[in-house]
């Protein structure tokens, strides 16, 4: 029994996926100079979420149709995908914009006959790859598959018109629909999978004889029906997956939906979130077991949290590796940018600490309130607990860096390094003028400004000697005249 299904599945397995992304529209309601598809969701332009989806599907290529803000959109894509580019992306321009059918017509020269075309929109960022795989399976490489949805308020959408026996006949746009058709609650999501060879034939037959004078992509449904090509509707019930962004309100709604999804994924991995509604992940957050995260934390870029890490409330952490058992107290800002930041196992950071690019903390390091660390290595057990700056420094094991002390690393033109060897104790309010090396086990007296290397084991003091003048009388104020 070589069933039809088996034949279809074989066809599907072999059909390459060519993703076409419509992104030429203006996005008037965003009221923004930035093209709509470049507005960020979770810190990443909407269009790049759609390209990520194409990549997840291992599409053979993605053809992006641009129009409004085309140069900006193309440049942003090229820049943002450069690092990870496994997907072949090309752009075609649609000038002027005469409708969704006209948009896809522009992509025809880029489409080979042997593929299945998956039509997506640059402003619909949250479609799950699994849903699209199901849609592609429904198309089976030789049928027209539409992603549809039941909507209590279908106004504005294309309606799925079915025959009495339930077979899809057409999509009718809101403005062209009869009152009876407007009562249909099954809508077309804007996403379809269609064999390229058929798509090309149908696109050539489109006209703009409709209420909006546009070339409707949705008209291909009636051509498929006329040609005897099966049209299948793959109905889903998760509206977020097909929701588009037309306004700042809708963008914010999708942002919250996306963040809640991230929060749920994290909790499924065992992360304890104080409140899943109060976390933002703008990038990739990897967590080992027994991580706890308090409210209002933002994670950006690549962040990894080791086993048992605890993140206090109101922390912003970007591009950093926090190793097992470390505690990040509230209001700490960590940003590794391109260099990264490492916080060693068991370290304590914050509250109100700032770790900048190239901060590398070993195990059990303590960084306290109002301490800034940049491009510096702190070996195991080193401490800077209050009001300090460590920039371009190499700090040995168990060093204690006193309150108010700083490395003066910048001479106005160049940056210089400070080396503090193991077990040095730097008193409060010291200025270490780099380049400088403090020998192991030494002590620096509080208030010292050091410009020369210090020997190991010595007490080094560099400040005005204390003098006391006995019986010193301060100037006195003249007595006030009595008021009458």
The H or E element that residue 374 is part of is strand 366-374
Residue closer to ligand UD1 by CB (options 19, 367) is: 19
Assigned token pair, 429: 């309010």
Which residue of the set 234, 289, 386, 425 is catalytic? 386
Nearest by Cα to 49 from 280, 218, 243, 335? 243
Q: Are 407 and 434 in contact (CB under 8 A)?
A: yes
Residue closer to ligand UD1 by CB (options 102, 366) is: 102
Residue closer to ligand UD1 by CB (options 189, 262) is: 189
Nearest by Cα to 268 from 278, 256, 276? 276
Gyration radius from the chain CA atoms:
32
User: In whole angstroms, how far apart are CA 83 and each of 77, 157, 285, 340?
Assistant: 11, 37, 19, 17
Alpha-carbon span 325 to 168, nearest angstrom:
58
CA 469 to chain centre: 64
CB of 136 to ligand UD1, least distance (A): 19
Residue closer to ligand UD1 by CB (options 30, 320) is: 30
Residue 130 main-chain phi, psi, to 5 deg: -60, -40
* ∠ CA 248-336-281, rounded to 5°: 35
CB of 203 to ligand UD1, least distance (A): 12
Assigned token pair, 23: 């992104």
CB of 351 to ligand UD1, least distance (A): 45
Alpha-carbon span 54 to 118, nearest angstrom:
9
Non-local CB neighbours of 211 within 8 Å, separated by 6+ positions: 173, 175, 176
Residue closer to ligand UD1 by CB (options 122, 391) is: 122
CB of 146 to ligand UD1, least distance (A): 9
CB of 214 to ligand UD1, least distance (A): 6
CB of 257 to ligand UD1, least distance (A): 16
Q: Any catalytic annotation for residue 386?
A: yes
- Give the residues across from 116 on adjacent strands: 17, 195
CB of 144 to ligand UD1, least distance (A): 14
Residue closer to ligand UD1 by CB (options 101, 358) is: 101
Place of tokens 């203006």: 26
CB of 259 to ligand UD1, least distance (A): 23
Residue closer to ligand UD1 by CB (options 91, 188) is: 188
CB of 434 to ligand UD1, least distance (A): 54
Q: Label the pairing between strands 44-45 and 40-41.
A: antiparallel
Burial of 417 (0-12, 13-18, 19+ CB in 10 A): middle
- 3-class state of residue 180 by DSSP: helix
Assigned token pair, 440: 């192991």
**b/e 170-201 (16+ beta carbons within 10 angstroms → b):** bbbbbebbeeebeebebbbbbbbbbbbebbbe
Alpha-carbon span 21 to 25, nearest angstrom:
11
Peptide bond into 413 cis (omega under 30): no
Residue closer to ligand UD1 by CB (options 35, 344) is: 35
Residue closer to ligand UD1 by CB (options 131, 189) is: 189
Site residues (CB under 6 A) for ligand UD1? Answer: 22-25, 65, 67, 94, 97-100, 102-103, 121-123, 157-158, 171, 173, 187-190, 216-218, 244
Which of the residues are catalytic? 386
């Amino acid at each position: 029994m070589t069933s039809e299904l088996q034949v279809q599945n074989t066809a599907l397995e072999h059909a390459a996926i060519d993703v076409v992304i419509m992104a030429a529209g203006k996005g008037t309601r965003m009221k923004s100079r930035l093209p709509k598809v470049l507005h960020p969701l979770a810190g990443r332009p909407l269009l790049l979420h759609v390209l990520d989806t194409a990549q997840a599907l291992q599409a053979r290529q993605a053809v992006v149709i641009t129009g409004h803000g085309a140069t900006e959109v193309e440049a942003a894509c090229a820049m943002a995908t450069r690092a990870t580019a496994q997907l072949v992306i090309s752009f075609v321009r649609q000038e002027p914009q005469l409708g969704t059918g006209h948009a896809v017509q522009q992509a025809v020269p880029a489409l080979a006959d042997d593929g299945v075309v998956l039509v997506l929109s640059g402003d619909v960022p949250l479609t799950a790859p699994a849903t699209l795989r199901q849609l592609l399976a429904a198309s089976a490489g030789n049928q027209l598959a539409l992603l549809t949805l039941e909507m209590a308020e279908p106004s504005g959408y294309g309606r799925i018109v079915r025959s009495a026996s339930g077979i899809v006949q057409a999509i009718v746009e809101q403005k062209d629909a009869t009152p009876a058709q407007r009562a249909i609650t099954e809508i077309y999501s804007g996403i379809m999978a269609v064999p390229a060879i058929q798509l090309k034939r149908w696109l050539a037959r489109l006209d703009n004889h409709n209420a909006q004078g546009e070339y409707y992509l949705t008209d291909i449904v009636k051509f498929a029906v006329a040609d005897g090509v099966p049209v299948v509707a793959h109905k889903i019930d998760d509206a977020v997956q097909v929701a588009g962004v037309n306004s700042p309100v809708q963008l914010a709604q999708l942002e919250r939906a996306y963040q809640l999804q991230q929060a749920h994924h994290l909790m499924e991995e065992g992360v304890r979130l104080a409140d899943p509604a109060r976390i933002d992940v703008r990038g990739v957050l990897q967590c080992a077991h027994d991580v706890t995260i308090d409210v209002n934390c933002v994670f950006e870029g690549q962040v990894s949290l080791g086993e048992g890490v605890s993140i206090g409330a109101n922390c912003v952490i970007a591009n950093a590796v926090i190793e097992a058992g470390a505690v990040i107290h509230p209001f700490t800002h960590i940003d590794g940018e391109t260099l990264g930041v490492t916080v060693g196992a068991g370290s304590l950071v914050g509250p109100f600490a700032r770790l900048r690019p190239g901060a590398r903390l070993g195990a059990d390091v303590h960084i306290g309130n109002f301490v800034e660390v940049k491009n510096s290595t702190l070996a195991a057990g080193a401490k800077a607990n209050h009001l300090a700056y460590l920039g371009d420094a190499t700090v040995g094991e168990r060093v204690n860096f006193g309150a108010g002390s700083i490395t003066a690393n910048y001479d106005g033109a160049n940056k210089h390094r400070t080396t503090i060897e193991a077990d040095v104790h730097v008193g409060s309010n010291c200025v270490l003028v780099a380049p400088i090396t403090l020998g192991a086990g030494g002590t620096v007296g509080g208030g010292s400004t050091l410009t020369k290397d210090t020997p190991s084991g010595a007490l080094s003091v560099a400040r005005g000697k204390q003098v006391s003048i006995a019986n010193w009388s301060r100037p006195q104020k003249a007595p006030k005249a009595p008021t009458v």
